Amino acid sequence: MKISLNLQFLNDEINDESLYKCELIVSKAYASRTKSQVLHFPPKTAEFVLMDNEYLFIDTPHKLSGIRCTIKTYERKDKRKKNIVEKYLTKGWYNWVLANIS
C-alpha cells in the first residue's frame, strides 16, 4: 500500500515543500505482530519540521484516519563524529499499520 504523509501543520517559516511530504510503501513487514516496526522520517524533515513536536496525526483515507502517533527522537554520531538527529513514529503508527495491512 502506498501512502502519502503530509505535515502541513508544522513550521510555516520553512518554504521547502519536500520537507512536508513523505511518500512510502507500507508493506506487510511493517505489520509484523512479533516485532513492531517504526516509521523513520528523512533527516531534514526530522531536523527542521518536526523539531519541537511530540506527536502528529495521520490523516489518510484509510482505517484509523486521525490517529495520534508519538514522535520519538534519537541522537547518534556518524563516522565523522557529527551529531545526527533521527525521529520516528511509534505508538499510533503500529495500530494504524495493523488496521490497514493485516
Residue 67 in grid coordinates:
490517529
The residues, ordered by sequence, that sit 6+ positions from 76 with a Cβ below 8 Å of its Cβ are 83, 84, 86
Residue 24 has pLDDT above 80, yes or no: no
Mean pLDDT of the chain: 77
Rounded to whole angstroms, how far apart are CA atoms 23 and 82? Answer: 27
- In this predicted structure, what is the pLDDT of residue 54? 86
Q: How confident is the model at residue 9 (pLDDT cuts 50, 70, 90)?
A: very low
Answer for the pair 89, 71: CB distance below 8 angstroms, yes or no: yes
**For residue 22, how far is the Cα from the chain centroid?**
8
pTM above 0.75, yes or no: no
Mean local confidence (pLDDT), 5-24: 57
Burial of 7 (0-12, 13-18, 19+ CB in 10 A): middle
